[in-house]
Structure 1
Amino acid sequence: EEILGKSDPKKTLIEHTNDCLFWFQKVLDWNDILITKISEYYSISKPDLIKRLFMTVAFHDIGKATERFQDKVRGEILHSLESHALTSVPFIYEEIKNNPIKIIDDNPFFPEILAIASHHSKLKNGLFQDYQRMEINFADEGYFQTFYQNINQQAIELKIPNWQDLKINKKLFNENPYIILSDDILYYVGSYKYEKTYVVRDLFLLFKSVLHYCDWLASSNNTAYQYSTIENNESITDKMKLKESQFINWEPFQLHAAKSGSKNIFVQIPTGQGKTEASVLWATQNNDSQKIIFLLPTMVTTNKMWERMCRFFGGIDNVGLSHGTAKYVLREKEEDMEPEALRNHYLYNRTFFKPVTVATIDQLIYSFFNWGYWVLTGAASFNAKIIIDEIHIYDAYTFGLLLKVIECITPYNTQFAIMSASLPEVLKRELEKVLPDFELIKEEKYNSKQRHKIEVRDCLIKECVDDIIKDYEAKRNILVVCNTIAKAREIFDLLDENISIENRMLYHSQFILQDKKDKEDLLEGLKSRDTGFVAVCTQIVEVSLDIDFDILYTENAPIDAIIQRLGRVNRKGKIQKRITEMQFAKVVITRESEKSRNYVYKTLPKILSLTYSNLSKIANEQKGNITEKDLKNLVDIIYTEENLGDDYFEELNDAKDLIPIIWTDYLKNIYTINIDEARLHQISSRKSDYITVEAVLLRHYQEYNFDECIANNNYDLLRKYTIKVPLHIARKYASKKFNDTDIYLLDMKYDENYGLSLEQDDQNII
């Protein structure tokens, strides 16, 4: 019988191997600069690297030439263990055992074997420990001679350097692959010291990612796959002209970014002035087979950026979306797509496989925790143009993690565009330590620009309710930003008698996903509304939503957060075009509540006080006329090393040290972490005083059959009704936890206007 490699579509093992090797040269070309840099960085001959990568791809499936796998691929039920990945190990080991690609601490390192052994699983200590006595009945020796002849022929055709013909050694048919993997390969993984370099991780990442690309592309029959974008500055400009009828030319700072395409850049431009377009021009200029990765702080901002990038880069085939609810977003967007096509999109999105990926910052950080598909996301980050937006938004812990990630990536074929309207100089200096050669992109004309008339009041925000109502009656669109959900609900309720529910909205984190999406759509559609509207929100509204209000009332917050809130009113600075009597947006800043001082900003008490006092002073002196330069100066006056305090920098440095500690102590640089280990060691991309968990509400559970959804692995409907709540709330109000999931079922009151209430809903019964 034929020795099959694939069943759907049917392919012989040699055909599948040749399909993989068809892609091998393309994958080499895409990664040429990366391979060169790894060769130089770790003093490994580039021809040797290429030869070993070829052998990894050529031998990765030879273990399929067994009786048991052939039964399996033909649909027969197996009654004992089978692993073609493990069975392939002796064949590659025979060819390289006396000449490891790298000697580390006097011990051999074989990334080829580790890549092959784990190409259908996550690498971990004790991998295949249940397979010690796996029975193996190989195909006849003649088949293997043919297989080896084919490898030799492919090597000649691909001009693999220093190639010498390989021949099958009959003794391999009697080897125990588990013993080789355990005693000769994995045994050494835990013995390497990691003080000087990350050679173990980087080499494993290279070998396994090259194998995955060749194997996945060969199996997908996707001959049109693009590794990196075909767009350039000219095509992006043409698309901009189609999108914006008034567009004539790029701003000088955007052209400056485009000319700096081969450098790291720092874009310091006020919100709403075109930083994103500048980053797109930068990413598509001098792009040397590099992926483009956009990283943002929240899922909301990531979704919006994904939609924008789809317009620039040709839709969902070319632009991936990666975050916790990305599957749901894609399902909603592509309702008619076939399930198999959707599954491929899900996989490609999670692995940064597409030319462009838009993701939350957590997705990149977690890849350096060796989480999930970290090999592929990590490999993509080593060969990319990476744009990090709103970098000022992160606390000391996440900022420290990000600095370490950047440090790990910069030796390879990657450049960074860091974007912020309000990053303090003291934190910019921390960035300069890991990106010392960046080009600063700024625009002097924005320094004198004024978009707001600011009044700082010595009162609490609830004392402004009468003024909010008056502004609403004047048909203004008003944004109210509170620092806590409790305060936002209080203000929302105080408006109840004077403003109908159709003309006001409450928006915070404790809404189900579907209601959040509806509220975001409503906020972004307000531009065409002239009847007056009030949105009462928490900090959730600060980052990257493309919204534009006429008036802002906000509680005091750290100066960078205030600047973000200011960016949601008179965003483009053109308010007078729609309201002739308003030259600037009206802004009222009040004192913060005691709860927000003691809980939300408890680590920044000095920053909070200095923000209020400095804003009060400059607003009084300049009669509310505060320019963009004034705001930037305030950031640097308030955010000093002394004002941030020792605790801030201690936390930042602890976070920078965390990644090497995790690699060394738990993961030996290359093992994949699982969710239980992450929880045990409290490994997370964000630091919080409380852990949040996913939950659904009893009223929705009674309306929809969520048990059936989970049983059928259909989480799309369930995802619509998911809400994130603190773990202590979930434990207090949970009536049960769904089997085999971490989703809680909550018996709590909820409505689409108010969100989650801590009062139990008497109508809900189990």
Structure 2
Amino acid sequence: MKAKLIIEELNNKYLNQLKNNFAKPVYTKTSIYDHFLELLENAKLLKKYYPCIFESKKNLYKLLIIAIYFHDFGKLNRLFQEKLKNRPTDDRVPHNILSALFIAENKNYFEENELLLLTYAVINHHIRGNEFFENELGIKSLTNLIKENQDSFGFDFSEETMHIFHKTCLNIYNSFYYKKKPFFVPERGNTIQFDAILLTGLLIRIDHSSSGFLDTEKEPVYEREKKFISYLKKINKGNSLKNFQNYYKNKEQFAVVADTGTGKTGLSAIWSKRKTFYILPTRTSDNAMFSTYCDIFGSENIGLLHSSALFYLFTNNYDDFNIIKNYDETKALSKPITVTTADQLFSAVFKYPGYEKIYATLSYSDVIIDEIQSFSPRQIVPILKQIEETKKLGARYLIITATLPEIIREKLEKIGIEVENKESSTLDTVKRHKVKIEEDKSIYNLINNFFIKDKNILVVVNNISTAQNLYKLVQDKNKEIKTKKNIKLLHSRFCLKDRLETEEQIKQPNNSITICTQIVEVSLDIDYDILFTEIATVDSLIQRFGRIWRKRNHNYSGNYNIHIACNVDEKIVDFVYEKSLRDKSIELIKNHLSYDNFLLSREKRKIVEKLYSTDTLKEINSNYLKEWNEIENILNSDFNFLLKNKNEIQRIFREVFTIDVIPAMFKNKIKKLLNSFCNKNLKRIEKNK
């Protein structure tokens, strides 16, 4: 029977109750039935914009509509209605669990698998009550708790209904929870776990967006290639695609190793034909790509999602009210294109409650991952695991990178992601980087060499304290020898306003010495003349090299333009870059320099592949491989990750143990801005009433 007919028959029994009880606080005047209609409109929108979700799952849309219908029936609980009247009341059993009783009461409409899927989705559309499903005793205590409180709830479920509910909950436990059975390993073609993830995830998406008065999906971006070519014309970079882009634009899913300048960003823009997520390693690189994509596809179509995205958006815009609305749409995953950091999507692999929202969304999405080698094993291993799992749900992946470690290449190929690096158009043939390895010198020993007339000098060190100390010394030296160099400092602890201003300044160097940390590696599109850098692992060094002689199309012919200072404070640097990896990096660079000391593009790839091969990592007894295996063992074990809180998982995924704060000197200014913001938006609300 079709969903529409089932709901019409059920309305004969429940409609008056649904219309006379509230889904939200009483002052909103939103009945449970009103809320159902809100969700129904968003489900129709989802099907209109992304029909592919339902094409291979003929029953999925029917089950989604029925799940939407039942999902808030538990709010008929008298105690819950008292809460909505702002009266302190314990509703005793979460409404999402009580809603499943009404599904059991109407079991005759559903086949056994449909009953299981609907019950799982409705129970899991909120987190509350998850603890009852830790073992069979928990389910028994839940059933008894409901029986004991039926009168208080105003319910009168029969023994048969309670039996069906209990049996279905046990079935859920045995199918999805017992011994943490691994998803995505369906036995004998039974894909019920796939269906459970899709149904639950879509229900969560639609419920969250509808509750926030948002569209679940905004209209997709069409004719992307045409828009990209228009963008090229606008910035005077031609009116056609590069050979590299034409060659790869229609491949299904793959990883491509290609050098800076070959057109990777353009490829990403035209490859995706569906809902899109663009993943970058850092917030700064996210911000830069967000700006580029806004120019290509229009700012109304692009979302920015990372831990400080809202601050960045406020800094660069003036329409406060629309910023918040657009950001809410981005958090609800409604934007057709979202630029984001990996933790926002790939922490879902740890299966925290509600993770189905991410997996279901990815099932009809194209995901682009930029510079995957920049992530640590703590991040790469979960990313690879989630790629493997979501590919089976329908996600497509494009991985674009300048270098690719062998250990990552092997894993990608194992999970069905083809690696492309043979096409000649992926290689940069210009001789850019003439390398001198300063074996016994520290970065401080090289200060006198920074002051080269009319040259823009980039200095990259491995931690903030070194950058700050070096900056003071270089300033003093500049005054002493009166060279009038423009000295700039950039690191991650700048307050956002100063950081954005400094980033813009260093993009236009003028007889400059810019001292910075690793923040420069994958975030800023800059082109300097000479690099002085502390020793690091070769993947980081190559990223730093990429900021030198970057946009010039002829061979470099001067003295050394890359200087690597190998003498560092081990207590500080070993915390950032493992010594065995640093030492092996220098050995490999020496072995791959040309006769005239240039490090060519092809050799850079070989070095990164070699350093991060299983054989080399074992040979040098690297912690990198140990950490990789440790995270892999956790993900492949029979037990979910111990952390159940989404925010905690994201924090650990990012390896961030700092808190962003506003300096006290800005306290009064912030108060004034806050008052101004509140007054302005109160006036807007009053005007729109």
* 1:498 and 2:477 are equivalent in the alignment: yes
Alpha-carbon deviations, 1:478-530, whole Å to 9, x = none?
10111233433332232122336982122223333443333323223x2xx43
- 1:322 is matched with 305
Contact kept, 8 Å, 2:531 with 2:545, in 1: the verdict is: yes
- The range that moved more, 189-198 or 542-551, is 189-198
Tell me what 2:565 maps to. 590
> Would the alpha carbon gap of residues 95 and 615 (structure 1) be closer, same or farther in structure 2, given more than 3 Å must change?
same
Is the CA contact (8 Å cut-off) linking 2:368 and 2:398 kept in structure 1? yes
Relative to 1, partners in 2 of residues 1:220 and 1:278: Cα closer, same or farther, differing over 3 Å?
same
8 Å CA contact 1:452–1:586 kept in 2: the answer is yes
Taking a change above 3 Å as real, the CA distance of residues 697 and 227 of structure 1, as seen in their structure-2 partners, is closer
Matched, 1:232 2:224: yes
Q: For residues 544-594 of structure 1, give each alpha carbon's deviation from its aligned partner in whole angstroms, at most 9, with x where no partner exists.
A: 321221211112222221210011112122489xxxx97798222232414
The aligned residue for residue 649 of structure 1 is 625
Q: Distance in 1 between matches of 2:425 and 2:554?
A: 22
Change (3 A) 1:450 1:23: same
Instruction: Confirm or deny: 8 A CA contact 2:388 2:415 kept in the other structure.
Output: yes
Match of 1:335 in 2: 318
Q: Secondary structure at the match of 1:417?
A: strand
SS at match of 2:392: coil
State the alpha-carbon separation in 2 of the partners of residues 176 and 68 from structure 1. Answer: 24
Query: C-alpha distance in 1, partners of 2:572/2:314?
Result: 40
Aligned equivalent of 2:657: 692
Distance verdict in 2 for CA 1:503–1:704, change over 3 Å: same
For residues 327 and 615 of structure 2, what CA distance do their matches in structure 1 show? 46
- 1:20–1:214 contact (8 Å) kept in structure 2: yes
- Partner SS, residue 693 of structure 1: coil
Matching of residue 558 in structure 1 with residue 533 in structure 2: no
CA distance in structure 2 between the partners assigned to 1:479 and 1:633 by the alignment:
25
1:658 aligns with 2:634: yes
Q: Give the match for residue 112 of structure 1.
A: 118
- Deviation, 1:442, is 4.0
How far residue 611 of structure 1 moved from its aligned partner, in angstroms, is 2.8
Q: Classify the secondary structure of the residue corresponding to 1:24.
A: helix
Cα deviations by residue, 1:673-730 (Å, 9 ceiling, x for unpaired): 3557x59xxx82256xxx6131547744865789x989x999xxxxxxxxxxxxxxxx
- The aligned residue for residue 92 of structure 1 is 103
Given the two structures, how large is their TM-score scaled by the length of structure 1?
0.72
Residue type of the alignment partner of 1:420: T
* Distance (whole Å) between structure 2 residues aligned to residue 20 and residue 205 of structure 1: 19
**Are positions 1:209 and 2:201 aligned together?**
yes
Matched, 1:258 2:249: yes
One-letter identity of the residue aligned with 2:201: S
Any conservation in 2 of the 1:601–1:608 contact (CA below 8 Å)?
no
Equivalences for residues 106-145 of structure 1 within 5 A: 110-119=116-125, 121=127, 124-126=130-132, 133=149
Please state if 1:548 is matched with 2:527.
yes
Alignment pair present for 1:80 and 2:89: yes
Counterpart secondary structure, 2:340: strand
- Which of 582, 586, 596 is the matching residue for 1:608? 582
Q: Give the number of aligned pairs.
A: 631
SS at match of 1:234: helix
Paired position in structure 2 for 1:360: 341
Query: What is the SS of the residue equivalent to 1:259?
Result: coil
Note if contact 2:258-2:264 (Cα within 8 Å) is conserved in structure 1: yes
Shifted more, 181-190 versus 556-565: the winner is 181-190
Q: In structure 1, what residue type is equivalent to 2:563? A: V
How far apart in 1 are the matches of 2:584 and 2:75? 68
Q: For the Cα contact (< 8 Å) 1:552–1:586, is it kept in 2?
A: yes
- Unmatched segments (≥5 aa) in structure 2: 1-15, 134-140, 185-190, 680-689
SS at match of 2:659: strand
* Alignment match, 1:20: 39
- The whole-number CA distance in structure 2 between the counterparts of 1:434 and 1:608 is 30
Q: Is the 8 A contact 1:86 1:178 kept in 2?
A: no
Distance in 1, Cα, partners of 2:636 & 2:151: 40
1:267 aligns with 2:282: no
Q: 1 CA distance for matches of 2:559 and 2:166?
A: 70
Is 2:442–2:566's contact at 8 Å kept on the other side of the alignment?
yes
Q: Are residues 28 and 520 of structure 1, via their aligned partners in 2, closer, same or farther at CA, if it must alter by over 3 Å?
A: same
- Structure 1 residues 489 and 275, CA, compared in 2 at 3 Å: closer, same or farther? same
Cα shift readout 1:140-174 (whole Å, capped 9, x = no counterpart): xxxxxxxxxxxxxxxxxxxxxxxxxxxxxx954x7
User: Displacement of 1:210 after TM fit?
Assistant: 2.3
Deviation digits for residues 49-97 of structure 1 (CA, Å, limit 9, x no counterpart) = 4432221012223445576666776xx4324245654553322222238
Determine the C-alpha separation between the residues in 2 that align with 1:276 and 1:587: 26
Do the aligned partners of 1:228 and 1:292 also contact (CA within 8 Å) in 2? no
In 1, are the aligned partners of 2:245 and 2:267 still within 8 Å (CA)?
Answer: yes
Aligned twin of 1:673? 645
1:307 equivalenced with 2:291 (yes/no): yes
Identify if the C-alpha distance between structure 1 residues 446 and 57 changes in structure 2 by more than 3 Å, giving closer, same or farther. Answer: same
> In 1, are the aligned partners of 2:150 and 2:156 still within 8 Å (CA)?
no
Distance 2:568 2:547 in 1: 22
Post-superposition Cα deviations, 1:363-401, rounded to whole Å, max 9, x if no partner, equal: 222222245863322222222111111111122332222
1:422 aligns with 2:403: yes
Using a 3 Å threshold, how does the CA distance of structure 1 residues 227 and 649 change in structure 2: closer, same or farther?
A: farther
Compared CA separation, residues 604 and 437, structure 1 to 2 (3 A): same
The 1:179/1:504 distance shift into structure 2, 3 A limit, reads farther
**1:599 paired residue number:** 574
Task: Sort the Cα spacing of 1:78 and 1:588 in 2 relative to 1 into closer, same or farther, 3 A.
Answer: same
**Which structure is higher in helix share?**
2
Give 1:52's aligned amino acid: L
Is residue 62 of structure 2 the alignment partner of residue 51 of structure 1? yes
Change beyond 3 A, Cα 1:426–1:246: same
- Aligned-pair Cα RMSD in Å: 4.2
SS at match of 1:499: helix
Shift of 1:102: 3.8
Q: 1:325 to 1:686 in 2, by over 3 A?
A: closer
Would the aligned equivalents of 2:209 and 2:216 in 1 still touch at CA under 8 Å? no
Amino acid at match of 2:231: K
* Residue of structure 1 equivalent to 2:442: 460
AA paired with 2:118?
A: E
In 1, are the aligned partners of 2:243 and 2:425 still within 8 Å (CA)?
no
1:296 Cα offset (Å): 0.9
For residue 169 of structure 2, what is the amino acid of its counterpart? Answer: I
Cα 1:397–1:264, aligned 2, differ >3 Å: closer, same or farther? same
Contact 1:257 1:265 (8 Å CA) reproduced: no
Secondary structure of the structure 1 residue equivalent to 2:596: coil
